[in-house]
Structure 1
Amino acid sequence: MVAASTRAPRFGVEEEYLLLDAESGLPSDGAEELIEALPGLRAEHEFFHCQLETATPVCERADEARDALGGFRATAAAAAEELGLVLAGTGLPPVGGDEPGRVVAKPRYLEIADSARGSVARYYSTGAHVHVEVPSRDAGVQAIARFARWSPTLAALAANSPVYLGERTGYASWRYLLTQQWPTSGYPPAFADGSEYRSVVAGLVRAGALVDTALVNWSIRLSERFPTIELRTADAQLESEDAIALAMIFRALAARGLREYELGELPTYPQPDLLRGAHWLAARDGLRGRLFDPLDGEPRPAFQLVDAMLEHAADELSAAGDAELVERFVARRRADRGPAQQQLEAWESDGVAGLLALYRSGS
């Protein structure tokens, strides 16, 4: 494929973490104290006081993100231990999710809590979000449409919330099920251009379904703050290295989509129910079984679709210098069948204590 442009898009990664009591594993409201213990680092509140967020600067290379996230995790995890907490890279708390969380008293968070009511009282959802630079909102909409086919496969790679309310859920990503409660959820519909996207979101705000335009919860969306498209499918990851590898795959897929748009190639958008079903199956089984391509509905072994996705973006991965990093990541996933499987094995081996040890090992 002839490249319409040569520079890989810039990107950024946001990581969210749960703060769990180091003995019981229950969510613990330690964000305020932990942020105070991390002067000079980009440590921020999330929706609940038992959650913490950080973000990379705008990056051009994977090693820049690795330095930012790896350094933050190591420092924050050590500070958390001093406070009797574990900094946990997991999409949901394994225990304690039945208790309402304490909302951070930011005006926007309080407005969301008032608007969404009981649906967010226990919304401990914690993710790894990736931003990839786009030249315009029109181009961003076109890249999103071209990414749709591969979104379920990437979701399977990122699934990491199999234990909730003290039991196996039967899903690799139970967090995916919880995210479906929002007025905007699942994969976004196809839009003609950025103007139509903006009009639909503004209509949802005007009608009262969304507090503001930044509360769009499609699995991939246009960012309201940055000139990017944002992936929101991924659960928080056990290790920052895994979040970075997922980000590099997303960047390559987005770059492929942008180049196809620049070259005038038309997208092929999956039938919406097939796309939704493919995401559901990816959330249920992760990498342990079979997924299906939402373009044709044919079930295939999970790693057959992973290989096809990476072949689709091979030129972009190579051009950005990310091919080897992603190959190592996929090799790890072939061996361990993903972080959800690691969590299940730790849970079966030693319950909450096993999971806390696993979370510590990721920092």
Structure 2
Amino acid sequence: MRSQDVASGVRTFGIEEEYLLLDAEDGMPVDLAAALIRTLPWQQERADREFFDSQLETSTHVCHTAAEALSSLQSFRSEAAGAAAEHGAVVAGTALPPVGGDQVGTITPKLRYRILQAEMREAGAYHYASGMHVHVGVPSPDVGVEVLARLAPWAPVLLAMSANSPIWNGQPTGFASWRHLMGQHWPIAGYPPEFASADEYQHTIDQLVGSGVLMDKGVVTWVARLSERYPTVELRIADVQLEAEDAVAFAVFVRAIVDQCLVDVEQGVSRPNLTPGLVNGAIWIAARYGLSDQLVDPLLAERLPAFDAVARAVDYAARSLEQSGDRARVDEWIDRMRTGGTPAQRQVAQFDAGGITALLALYRDGTQKADGGDGEASADYA
């Protein structure tokens, strides 16, 4: 995959989404992923089961435009939602099930997952976490390492903008992203440390695997990493989104930030000087509050209103957003969150108003209202 389209000058990207399959009556996780995949003939190359059989995963093809990504996600969500409804289930764009998370999940019958469950023990028994991963093409692993170091100051605000797991086991957690907290169970977690080069990055991964800390290279659970399969930087910090429109807006925003990081590399701008521990502490604050309060800017080590932090990120990415034609889309997405609430706030409001029934209606709306696409996108990210 080329990191940049030569004709348009716009960097390529792709999106992975993981959905939860919930019972349409009581909201409990249901093991339907394998059955749904069998009933979606043209989607089978794009669909897979995740760690649990109550999780359904898809990925876009390599995209150049937001419209391509939106068509891909909307078509999949729409068809999957229709098939799930026939089984009495809901395809839910929420990063944790609102109820039933205290029930041991059914491991997808893949040898790798079974080994992983044995390694994780109780920490993996309730791992319903469902995220959205954004891949952005980079020219080389060495450049990718530079991007990881320069993306770090923006990680907290990116989590705050995408937080969508506020309810767990039938009650609000007080966190906008409880999924992020659950992610701390993994042997390595949070934002990765800085690396001088791709060789140092790879040596670190080899040591983690060789020592037995990690089962394999696929279990690099930092919230950002270099992809093992593609020439991309992979941002894994986001919760899966309620609606495809928000997922795509987030993805092109990430692409624009990464693109500006690459411009900084080309222009010889120094890496940001970050206090150790401050990035992960700021990410924790972002998981707690989302955009409802203040965030911490890890570059300046100061607290500021959440939407002021968003504005700083938009200013940083402005040139790339204008070049790709995505500025209006991102601005509209941010305005929707400012006036109508973030995904996490919308979930809590629905739960307060009508409990699990109201939440299920919100989840349905995020998938069933999607327009069907042509169904021809292929899964180039996994």
TM-score between the two structures when normalised by the length of structure 2: 0.93
Residue 172 (str. 1) matches residue 190 (str. 2): no
Cα distance in 1 for residues equivalent to 2:304 and 2:62? 36
Matches within 5 A, 1:79-90: 79-90=83-94
Aligned to 2:198: 194
Aligned to 1:136: 140
Aligned to 2:211: 207
Deviation at 1:98, TM superposition (A): 0.4
Cα distance in 2 for residues equivalent to 1:272 and 1:8? 33
Residue 254 (str. 1) matches residue 233 (str. 2): no
Residue 107 (str. 1) matches residue 125 (str. 2): no
Deviation at 1:266, TM superposition (A): 1.2
Aligned to 1:120: 124
Aligned to 1:11: 13
8 Å contact from structure 1 (residues 149, 269) kept in 2: no
Q: Which amino acid aligns with 2:90?
A: V
Aligned to 2:24: 22
**CA deviation vs aligned residue, 1:129-157 (integer Å, no higher than 9, x gap):** 10000110000000111111111001000
Cα distance in 2 for residues equivalent to 1:198 and 1:115? 23
Count of aligned positions: 359
For 1:129, what is the secondary structure of its paired residue? strand
Q: Which runs of 4+ in 1 moved over 2 A?
A: none
**CA deviation vs aligned residue, 1:48-99 (integer Å, no higher than 9, x gap):** 0000000000001110001100111111111111110000000100000001
Cα distance in 1 for residues equivalent to 2:159 and 2:276? 16
Q: Which amino acid aligns with 1:85?
A: A
Aligned to 1:35: 37
Cα distance in 1 for residues equivalent to 2:147 and 2:10? 14
Deviation at 1:118, TM superposition (A): 1.5
Deviation at 1:8, TM superposition (A): 2.1
Paired residue for 1:243, among 247, 258, 267? Answer: 247
Paired residue for 1:333, among 330, 337, 342? Answer: 337
Cα distance in 2 for residues equivalent to 1:81 and 1:357? 12
For 1:12, what is the secondary structure of its paired residue? strand
Cα distance in 1 for residues equivalent to 2:345 and 2:236? 21
Percentage identity across paired residues of the two chains: 48
For 2:364, what is the secondary structure of its paired residue? helix
Cα distance in 2 for residues equivalent to 1:249 and 1:216? 24
**CA deviation vs aligned residue, 1:290-336 (integer Å, no higher than 9, x gap):** 10101122111100010110000100111111111101101101112
Cα distance in 1 for residues equivalent to 2:112 and 2:261? 34
8 Å contact from structure 1 (residues 145, 269) kept in 2: no
Aligned to 2:57: 53
Deviation at 1:43, TM superposition (A): 1.4
Paired residue for 1:321, among 320, 325, 329? Answer: 325
Deviation at 1:272, TM superposition (A): 2.6
8 Å contact from structure 1 (residues 11, 130) kept in 2: yes
8 Å contact from structure 1 (residues 20, 50) kept in 2: yes
Q: Which amino acid aligns with 1:93?
A: P
Deviation at 1:39, TM superposition (A): 0.7
Paired residue for 2:305, among 301, 306, 329? Answer: 301
Cα distance in 1 for residues equivalent to 2:226 and 2:72? 24
Q: Which has the higher contact order (CA 8 A, sep 6+)?
A: 2
Cα distance in 1 for residues equivalent to 2:155 and 2:123? 25
- Structure 2: segments with no counterpart, 5+ residues: 1-5, 368-382
Q: Which amino acid aligns with 1:36?
A: R
Deviation at 1:107, TM superposition (A): 1.4
8 Å contact from structure 1 (residues 171, 283) kept in 2: yes
For 2:354, what is the secondary structure of its paired residue? helix
Aligned to 2:380: none
Cα distance in 1 for residues equivalent to 2:268 and 2:187? 33
Aligned to 2:377: none
TM-score between the two structures when normalised by the length of structure 1: 0.97
Q: CA RMSD in A?
A: 1.0
For 1:232, what is the secondary structure of its paired residue? strand
Residue 218 (str. 1) matches residue 222 (str. 2): yes
Residue 77 (str. 1) matches residue 78 (str. 2): no
For 1:52, what is the secondary structure of its paired residue? strand
Cα distance in 2 for residues equivalent to 1:239 and 1:64? 16
Paired residue for 1:350, among 337, 354, 358? Answer: 354
